[in-house]
């Protein structure tokens, strides 16, 4: 079944109506979800009509439909990418066996943990971003924020479906708890650190969608390979939606850079701050912060969990199909160990380095994104180059946590770190300045002075399109 049934209370392409118990359980969860959305979702805009896209099909083309809708009326649903052939497990110790349609008992706890950890990030990011609508630099940006928010809500639905459908009472309890944890709450925080960081200004939001949503993409890519078929198919469809989130980050930061470069060209002797733009070195510090924090999300470089998940066939590599061999046995991965103040190369069994393998693809993609930003400077003739931090910089998880490295990855002592950190990570002054710029612009076709307009509208709409009806 590829068409989505919108006549149901919960739109879906999983024939939910044929399993009445499951349908009832999810219909009971639905009002709790809406209450959570009203309490913790975007503030002040639940009664406004927003130009949003909704999935209408799970086919590659023509899957989305755009219309004005109030966010609480968004049709959050359950969509799984269909199969062309009988799915097989693609890697690990069960390679070649039929993929599991039910949870394999021996891997139940691991799978539950993987699913809950992924699921928890979805409502967390909505909570982190809940105040941003109040300071949007344009209606275009406000609409993009809300699009990201409703889709993260849908990603929560995708994971909650898997929990309800396949994990019985435990799964229902986990689904309830997903609505109870709160980003940044000291007593009941979200599971992963980055998802408890405040995201209170739009430069942070663009960095978040660039770096943190891209971590999400890579986690989804690895889960889309899972031998547990319902999880794999859920994640595949989530990836379709995820691409727009990274587009928002990539082009958002690019537009901030473009605006600053324009100001620098117009007033070569002035501090860009005098003309309401964000200095390039300040943007770089935001990049360093969100890039390094997001690198932590992949976990430790050497990890027995990652080896177990791979061996079990429940979490693979991104694009597992591109590898010639899917056992990853008797192979080694060379990484840099940091011990007694020295970096040395060490080979670890490949299966234990799967977090690092995933991180490699992620880093490569981010570096391409940084090059895209550098082209903004080149195009305007501004002599500045943005950099992606070395993966040892400012880490709190794994091999390099607890030690100091500069953004190029060179080990440094504590005194050097303290003397330079204000050049590398956003200072209180930086944050206060960015915050001072966060004044809403709600006139159609107008943009705040610190950001350039986008190159084209959403769904080819005109410059002054009414993306949000205020
Ligand atoms: Fe998501
Ligand atoms: Fe996302």
Ligand nearest to the CA of 158: 1
Q: 3-state class of 186 per DSSP?
A: coil
Q: Give the CA angle between residues 201, 206, 212 to the nearest 5°.
A: 110
Which of 354-370 are b and which e, b meaning 16 or more Cβ less than 10 Å from the residue's Cβ?
A: bbbbbbbbbbeebeebb
The CA 79 to ligand 1 mean position distance, Å, reads: 14
**Which ligand has an atom closest to residue 147 CA?**
2
Give the ligand at the shortest distance from the Cα of 120. 1
> Beta partners for 404?
412
Give CA–CA dist 166/221, Å, rounded: 21
Given this model, what pLDDT does residue 272 score? 98
How far apart (Å, rounded) are the C-alpha atoms in residues 322 and 221? 13
The rounded Å distance from CA 340 to ligand 2 centre is 39
Give 52 Cα–ligand 2 centroid separation in angstroms.
Answer: 15
Residues with CB in 5 Å of ion ligand 1:
122, 152, 155, 216
Query: pLDDT at position 129, please?
Result: 97
Distance 192 CA to ligand 2 centre (A): 15
Do residues 9 and 30 touch, judged by C-beta distance below 8 A?
yes
Phi-psi region of 272 (alpha: psi -120 to 50; beta: other; left: phi over 0): alpha
Domain-wise residue ranges, the chain: 16-469
| Cα of 189 from ligand 1 centre, angstroms | 18
C-alpha–C-alpha distance, residues 76 and 103, integer Å: 25
Q: What class does CATH assign to 16-469? A: mainly alpha
**CA–centroid distance, residue 239 to ligand 2 (Å):** 9
The predicted structure's pLDDT at residue 2: 60
Query: Tokens at residue 74, please?
Result: 């968004």
Q: Cα(117) to centroid of ligand 1, in Å?
A: 12
pLDDT in tens, the chain (470 residues): 467 888 889 999 999 999 999 999 999 999 999 999 999 999 999 999 999 998 877 776 767 889 999 999 999 999 888 887 889 999 999 999 999 999 999 999 999 999 999 999 999 999 999 999 999 999 999 999 999 999 999 999 999 999 999 999 999 999 999 999 999 999 999 999 999 998 999 999 999 999 999 999 999 999 999 999 999 999 999 998 999 999 999 999 999 999 999 999 999 999 999 999 999 999 999 999 999 999 999 999 999 999 999 999 999 999 999 999 999 999 999 999 999 999 999 999 999 999 999 999 999 999 999 999 999 999 999 999 999 999 999 999 999 999 999 999 999 999 999 999 999 999 999 999 999 999 999 999 999 999 999 999 999 999 999 999 99
CA of 143 to the centre of ligand 2 (A): 15
| Rounded CA separation 54/75 (Å) | 7
Tokens of 24: 């009832």
Pure H helices in 344-470: 354-380, 414-424, 428-437
**Residue 260 half-sphere exposure, CB side, CA atoms within 13 Å?**
26
Distance, CA 269 to ligand 1 centroid (Å)? 43
């Amino acid at each position: 079944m590829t068409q989505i049934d919108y006549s149901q209370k919960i739109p879906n392409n999983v024939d939910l109506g044929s399993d009445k118990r499951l349908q009832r359980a999810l219909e009971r969860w639905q009002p709790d979800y809406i209450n959570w959305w009203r309490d913790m979702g975007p503030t002040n805009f639940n009664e406004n009509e927003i130009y949003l896209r909704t999935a209408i099909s799970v086919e590659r083309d023509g899957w989305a439909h755009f219309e004005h809708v109030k966010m609480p009326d968004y049709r959050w649903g359950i969509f799984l990418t269909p199969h062309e052939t009988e799915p097989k497990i693609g890697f690990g110790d069960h390679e070649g066996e039929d993929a599991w349609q039910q949870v394999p008992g021996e891997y139940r706890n691991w799978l539950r943990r993987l699913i809950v950890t992924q699921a928890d990030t979805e409502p967390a990011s909505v909570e982190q971003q809940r105040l941003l609508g109040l300071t949007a630099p344009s209606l275009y940006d406000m609409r993009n924020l809300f699009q990201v928010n409703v889709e993260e809500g849908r990603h929560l639905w995708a994971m909650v479906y898997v929990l309800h459908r396949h994990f019985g009472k435990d799964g229902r309890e986990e689904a309830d708890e997903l609505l109870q944890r709160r980003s940044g709450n000291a007593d009941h925080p979200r599971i992963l650190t980055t998802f408890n960081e405040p995201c209170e200004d739009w430069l942070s939001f663009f960095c978040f969608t660039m770096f943190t949503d891209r971590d999400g993409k890579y986690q989804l890519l690895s889960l889309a390979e899972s031998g547990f078929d319902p999880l794999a198919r859920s994640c595949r469809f989530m990836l379709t939606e995820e691409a727009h989130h990274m587009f928002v980050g990539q082009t958002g930061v690019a537009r901030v850079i473009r605006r600053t470069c324009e100001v620098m060209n117009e007033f070569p002797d002035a501090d860009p701050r005098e003309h309401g733009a964000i200095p390039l070195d300040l943007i770089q510090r935001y990049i360093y912060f969100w890039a390094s924090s997001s690198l932590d999300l992949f976990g430790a470089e050497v990890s027995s969990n990652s080896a177990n998940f791979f061996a079990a066939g429940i979490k693979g590599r991104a694009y597992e199909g591109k590898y010639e061999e899917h056992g990853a046995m008797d192979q080694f991965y060379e990484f840099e160990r940091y011990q007694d103040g020295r970096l040395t190369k060490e080979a670890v069994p490949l299966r234990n380095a799967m977090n690092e393998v995933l991180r490699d693809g992620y880093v490569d993609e981010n570096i391409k994104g940084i090059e895209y930003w550098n082209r903004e400077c080149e195009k305007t003739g501004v002599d500045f180059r943005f950099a992606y931090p070395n993966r040892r910089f400012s880490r709190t998880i794994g091999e390099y946590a607890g030690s100091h490295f500069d953004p190029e990855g060179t080990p440094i002592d504590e005194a050097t770190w303290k003397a330079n950190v204000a050049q590398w990570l956003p200072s209180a002054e930086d944050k206060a300045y960015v915050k001072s710029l966060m004044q809403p612009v709600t006139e159609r076709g107008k943009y705040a002075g610190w950001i350039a307009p986008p190159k084209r509208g959403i769904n080819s709409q005109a410059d002054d399109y009414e993306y949000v009806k205020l």
